[in-house]
Structure 1
Amino acid sequence: MQRILIVDDEPMIRKGFLALVKKYDPKLEVCAANNGLDAMQKMQHFSPDIVLTDIRMPKMDGLSLSKAIHETKTNTSVVIISGYDDFQYAKQCISYGVKEYLLKPVTEAELYPVLDKLLSLQKHTAVSLSLYEEWLKDAEEAIWTLDDIRLEELLDRWRTTYAKEGVQVSQCQQLVADGLDILQRRLQARGFKAVLPQNVISTLNIREAADYFQNAIREIANQILHYRSGNQKKLFDEAIRFIDLHIKEDVSLETIAEKVGLTPAYFSHYFKKIAKESFVQYRMRKRIELARALLEMPQYKVVDAGLEAGFPNYTYFHKVFKKMTGYSPTEYRAMMGIK
């Protein structure tokens, strides 16, 4: 469903534009704002394909709004609605990617061809920045964990989504440049600085830009592998050390995920893939191992062994211990010859 945002400080003009747009296509989602600042706030939850905006408005005018939209690097098309006296002023917006200028009063004959053109263009070239942001997060984690299979899946998805027919060359080039810049900055925040070969992305066609992007991503992963001296266990050892060090404490999966720089969901998947058991299963197994070691020491009471191993009470300790070993803590101690 395509969306249009109407921005004007005059209530009657907003109402008139709403009626015109709804008459053009009742299926369109339409929202209105009374100035540029209001529009920017609404755009946080309502991502428009087209913004129709007046020039002269309080708080934030149409020129400032056009600049702000341009700086977000979204695929939103901006149409300036201007009074005659504002037309020269409106031309300043050309550097902010404004697509069309319409002079007040606007009629169906003037507005509808513009909507035809811009909505048709959006259908073929629209790129969801929120989905691209999700892709970048997934790619960052796959690169950092050196998950080659996941990374190749993501690269294939990138190519079929952002280097397909209908995507403009300049748009693909921008996605490559922005994507690599964001990934490099995020990895640098983790303590790793990637070095990529210099390339003038603006000279590449879509196929060349996609090839360069994929090769650059793989090169970053190779540099991380080399940086870690070929350690194939990657972040797993760091996570295990932290868990073992705090095995007696009720440390959450979220805490450990943050420690190694991953989202909880991805860390859970990653941990199970490497350890062949879930985080909860691993922690419980290690606690039982610790409890068994303590039960083999005569100076420890059975109850104290459970508490020392991280179990909140004896009932729970007894239940888990017997389930995992086949013996109760007391029976296990008797088997060790300890009364």
Structure 2
Amino acid sequence: MLKAVIFDDEYIVLQGLQKMIDWSMYGIELVGTANNGYAAIDLVETHSPDIIFTDIRMPGMDGLEVVEKILEAAPEIICVVFSGFNEFEYVKKALKLGVSDYLEKPITIPIMEDTIRKILEKLHHQKTVLSLEEKWEDSRSDLIEKATLDLLLQGDEALPKWRKSFEEEAKNIVAVTVLALSEKSPDLLSYSSYFPVYIRNGSDHLLVIYHFEDDSIEWMNQLLYWPSEFGITLGSGRTYHQLTDASKSYKEALQALRYGQFMEQGEWTRFEEIGENPNIPGDLSELEEAIIFYLRTGDKAGLFQQLDEFISKIQLQRLNPDVIEREILKLIYLGLEVAKESGEDVSKISQGNYLPHVDIRLLNTKEKMFSWLKVQMEMIMDWFLRIRKDKKHDAVEKACTYLDINFAKDLTLQDVAEYVGMNPTYFSLLFKEEMKLTYIKYLTKLRMERAKELLREGNKVADVSEKVGYHTYRHFSELFKKHAGVNPGQYRDSF
């Protein structure tokens, strides 16, 4: 039922409108009356009415002032003004404020009933329009989510439908970034610089950021707090300016999430932080990617589980021996590429020259091939871990010394990995093992501690941001606040 209130300083008007109109017949409950402006405001705050009838002339605060205050706070309320003063200026001001009707006194019952009917028609129309708008928004939201998922999975083929779903907004999108989440995320606030779309693909929780501006950072500043506030692990792919590259960002986001969950639960891992091996193809199956993951991370149980799944898949497909041989050799050589990330000569894995493509030809059954595969992968892993143990301390110590001197430069994981002569992915895992911190967290901590020193010396926040390697002041401020609990200006002023 709708709620209505009446404001008038004439007692007879209040009583007449209360008694002479059957409000319930129109589906309206008259919840209160007031005879001055201040009481009127209190009544509105208490009952939140849908309709207000008010006289212009009242003590304390006139009706137009009351209407102005009410509509400023709740513009959806319908206001009807009546007065015995037929002055054009009153009418003009009332209409300008957004009142629905202006009635001249004396107010008759037929005039009031006719006005109520008009109000009900208006409310019905508003409700219909709102319902249609909500249905359209829900429908469009579903279309956008479907078009986004198709874009991630199909690339070029999905682009025409994607453009149709986004309508005019499609022309303004300049880049796309995909994030993979460990679980359903809270809503990411929209800004003028980007538009977020949350989607599910099987067990994958994905957040796709469409950028309207290059170098937008508002979305990054929000996500900085998600791991600590909501316990969510994030993995993000790289940002691409070609929409058809969204599928690359998607695959990278899944890889980053997997490595992030391995290295540190409840953190945000960027694909740039784990690096990539250009010698490993980008179109691997999920099984092949999982085998590489367990090799790199030294998880022998996980590796053998994936090898068993690979063997089961091969068995079900009933492939001929040549195809089986080719698939097994592919895994062996992928394993060798992972081993090469150490920078050592992989021919030393076994005594003499290691020639798996020759060795496999000596096996005459698929069972022997599968057993041989497991032996080879275990041998590669053991050699890889032994090399890692021998080299880890010296390489990470060299990297830390380099970072201590060059932290203010625009340093990427790739830069530091090249300096110590290692593959970025291998180096990132090595660094985390030795330092118990990811590369990016170590560098951020280094920069924040130096920033604190500079702020305590009284330097300007913008200057400090530049001196510790952040060219975007707002991003530096958010990182500092996350690290220190207060923003840089507050920290400097406290000293």
TM range (shorter): 0.3 to 0.5
What TM-score results when the alignment is normalised by the length of structure 2?
0.32
Give the greater-gyration-radius structure (CA).
Answer: 2
What TM-score results when the alignment is normalised by the length of structure 1?
0.44
